[in-house]
Amino acid sequence: MDTSSKLCSMCITCERGVRSETRVLSERPHSENLFPAIDDTLKRAKLTYSDIDAYAVCTGPGNFTGLRVSVSAARGLAFASNKPIVGISAFEAIAPRSGLSAVILDGKQNTVYIQKFSDGQKSGNPLTLESETVKNQVWLSNYALIGYQASNFSKSLAAKFLSESTYVCPVKIAELSRNKASKSISRPYPIYLKPGVNRVH
Least Cα distance to 9 among 116, 93, 121 occurs for 93
Q: For residue 156, with 0-12 CB atoms within 10 Å meaning exposed, 13-18 middle and 19 or more buried, which class applies?
A: middle
pLDDT for position 37: 98
What's the pLDDT score for residue 185? Answer: 60
Contact predicate 103/115, CB 8 Å: yes
Peptide bond into 61 cis (omega under 30): yes
DSSP element (H, E) containing 114 = strand 111-118
State the Cα angle at 83 between 68 and 61, rounded to 5°. 25
Cα–Cα distance, 11 to 1 (Å, whole number): 7
pLDDT of residue 196: 45
pLDDT tens-digit profile, the chain (201 residues): 999 999 999 999 999 999 999 999 999 999 999 999 999 999 999 999 999 999 999 999 999 899 999 999 999 999 999 999 999 999 999 999 999 999 999 999 999 999 999 999 999 999 999 999 999 999 999 999 999 999 999 999 999 999 999 999 999 999 999 878 766 566 899 998 875 444 444
User: Domains of the chain, with CATH numbers?
Assistant: 7-89+167-178 (3.30.420.40), 97-163 (3.30.420.40)
d(Cα 112, Cα 140) in Å, to the nearest integer? 14
